[in-house]
Amino acid sequence: MSADINQQAGDSVPAFTGVVALDGPSGTGKSTVARRLALELGARYLDTGAMYRAVTAAVLTAGVDLSDAGAIAEVAGRITLEITTEPEPAVVRVDGSDVTDRIRSAEVTAAVSAVSAVPAVRELLVAEQRRLIGAGGIVVEGRDIGSVVWPTAEPKVYLTASEVVRARRRAGETGGDVAAVAEAIARRDRLDSTRVASPAVRPDGSVELDTSDLTIDQVVKTLVDMALNR
């Protein structure tokens, strides 16, 4: 795999020069909060989940059996993955084709846990994520940022929310049935937390922030204060 970053020429040096790690399961507001936080800090933004989704889209296009780890790793190793690090808009390309919309499809969502559980895939993507983080000035979101990708990030925050709130939020985004969405979320949580390579856990030294009863503005303000007073 080769991956690249697409930034605007002449970008100014970000006001924030550190690395913020935002971890947590789906439905906790990670993506929305991470983008808003990056904008507030004048920092870059990296959605690591989008990278796993992009590889998943490529695997599905190739018609690979999701139980064939070797074939999945082969696809991951030969594609060219591009992802922007601007908070808005985030664009993802595979072999030059824009897959930004496709990676959010139900098909990719259902398959991403199986693909991201393959150790070779995680090894490739973690290396690329570390390269993209580089010297910092970035907010990074995912499920293993503070534990594996960048353990020295400050602050490291683990976002949580009640199961009911998470299901309602995700159903509102996708238009799905809340009960069905809750079941899908529980399944992915189970798969991600029990995988052998980089299981999804609360990182050591992280601050847990329950977003169940907080507005996006409240969460962002809390995180801005944490980042600037780290």
Q: Based on the structure, what is the number of domains in the chain?
A: 1
In a domain, 226, yes or no: no
Domain that holds residue 70: 2-219
Q: Are 129 and 19 in contact (CB under 8 A)?
A: no
In a domain, 227, yes or no: no
* CB-neighbour burial class of residue 199 (10 A; exposed 0-12, middle 13-18, buried 19+): middle
In a domain, 224, yes or no: no
In a domain, 103, yes or no: yes
In a domain, 129, yes or no: yes
Going along the chain, which residue ranges are E strands? 2-6, 19-23, 44-47, 80-84, 92-94, 97-98, 138-142, 156-160, 207-210
The pLDDT of residue 195 is 63
pLDDT digits (tens, 9 = 90+) for 182-227: 777 777 766 666 666 666 677 888 999 998 888 889 999 999 999 9
What's the CATH code of the domain at 91? 3.40.50.300
In a domain, 225, yes or no: no
In a domain, 201, yes or no: yes
In a domain, 8, yes or no: yes
pTM over 0.85: no
